[in-house]
Chains A and B, each alone.
Chain A
Amino acid sequence: MVEKIKRRDFLKTGAGLAAIIASPIAISKAEEVVIPATGKPKAMLVDARRCIGCKSCQVACKEWNKLPAEKTKISEAEFTNPPKFSSISWNVVTFKEMGNYDPKAEGTGGLKWRAISLRCMHCLDPQCVSVCPTHALIKHGDGPVVYDANRCVGCDYCMMACPWHVVHLDEKSKLIGKCTMCVDRIEAGMEPSCVVACPTDSLQFGDRDLMLEKGHDSNAPYIYGEKEAGGTSMICVSDVPFEEFGLPNVSPDPPSTFNLNMLKPIAGIGAIAGIISFLGYFMHTRTSKISAKSPKPKTSEQKKTKEA
Chain B
Amino acid sequence: MTDIVWGWQLTLEIFLVGLGAAAIIISLFADLIKKDQTSYVAMAGAYIAPVATVMGILVLILHLGALYRAPWNILHIIFEPNIESQLATRTWALIILTVLMVMIFALCLFKGSQKLTFVLKGAASIVAFYVLVNGGVVLSFSRGVPFWSTPVLPWILTISSFPAALASIGLAIPILAQLMPKLFTNMVEIFNSGKNYKKLTLDLLTASIPFLVATLILTFAHIALAYGEPGVDVMLMGDMAMFFWAYVVAGTIVPIIIWVLNRSTTTKSAWANYLSYLLILAGMAALNFAILYSPQITESILNF
Contacts and interface: CB of A to CB of B under 8 A. Distances in A.
B303 A83 contact: yes
Nearest to B76: A134
Contact of A165 (B1, B64, B65, B76): B1
Contact of A157 (B1, B81, B87, B300): B87
A154 B144 contact: no
A92 interface: yes
Interface string B261-295: 00000000000000000000000000000000000
A153 B76 contact: yes
B137 A266 contact: yes
B155 A273 contact: yes
A149 B64 CA distance: 13
A169 interface: yes
B303 A165 contact: no
A135 B82 contact: yes
A169 B5 contact: yes
Contacts of B87: 131, 133, 155, 157
A163 B303 contact: no
A159 B91 contact: no
A127 B143 CA distance: 8
Contacts of B151: 262, 264-266, 268-269
A159 B81 contact: no
Interface in B79-117: 80-82, 84-88, 91
A254 B70 CA distance: 32
B58 interface: no
A134 B83 CA distance: 9
A149 to B, nearest CB: 8
A188 to B, nearest CB: 28
B5 A263 contact: no
B67 A154 contact: yes
A266 B154 contact: yes
Interface in A215-271: 229, 245-248, 250, 255, 258-259, 262-266, 268-270
B119 interface: no
B11 interface: no
Nearest to B210: A280
Given A94-B303, A150-B73, A132 B155 contact: no
A38 interface: no
Given A92-B304, A156-B6, A174-B69, A133 B77 contact: yes
Contacts of A266: 133, 136-137, 140, 151, 154-155
A118 B73 contact: no
Nearest to A75: B303
A255 B68 CA distance: 31
A186 B37 CA distance: 70
A174 B65 contact: yes
A270 B65 contact: no
A160 B303 contact: no
A65 to B, nearest CB: 18
A248 B145 CA distance: 11
Contacts of B137: 262-263, 266
A133 B85 contact: yes
A168 to B, nearest CB: 8
Interface string B1-32: 10001100000000000000000000000000
Contacts of A262: 137, 140-141, 149, 151
A57 to B, nearest CB: 14
6 A-B pairs with the lowest CB-CB distances in the bound complex, closest first: A154-B65, A174-B65, A265-B151, A133-B88, A84-B304, A246-B303
